[in-house]
Amino acid sequence: MALKNASREVRLQWFARQVIDATWTGSPDGGEIQDWALAAGLITEHEVTQADVDGHTGALDTIENAEHLDVGDSYYKFSTDLEAESVRWSELSAA
């Protein structure tokens, strides 16, 4: 089974293992972590369009330093697995 077809739980476990294993052997850089998150389907890649740059889509509203993005550049967003409304945050405060 390919990682992209695995369950959310397995993809999250795989990602966590990648990060932890990398910290035990050195320091993973942000690019490696981003690549793992992309491979696990935890983030999605998007291409900046002219409508994005012109502010018509609102797609860049939450992207830090979005003013430096140009048409054709890539940006990343959390997948539905990690969107705030998809996570059961209440479990973190349960007794």
30 in the same domain as 57 = no
The reply to whether 13 falls in a domain is yes
Q: Considering the domain boundaries, does residue 4 fall inside one?
A: yes
Tell if the pTM clears 0.75, that is, is over it. yes
Domain span at residue 86 reads: 43-90
Q: Please report the DSSP string for 28-86 in residue order.
A: --HHHHHHHHHHTTSEEEEE--HHHHTTSS-TTTTSTTGGG--TT-EEEEE-TTTSGGG
Q: For residue range 13-61, list pLDDT tens digits in order.
A: 999 999 999 999 988 899 999 999 999 999 999 999 999 999 999 999 9
* Count of structural domains, the chain: 2
Question: What band does 1 get if pLDDT is binned at 50, 70 and 90?
Answer: low
Identify whether residues 18 and 56 lie together within a single domain: no
Claim to verify: residue 69 and residue 81 sit in the same structural domain = yes
Within a domain: residue 58?
yes
Q: Are 53 and 80 in the same domain?
A: yes
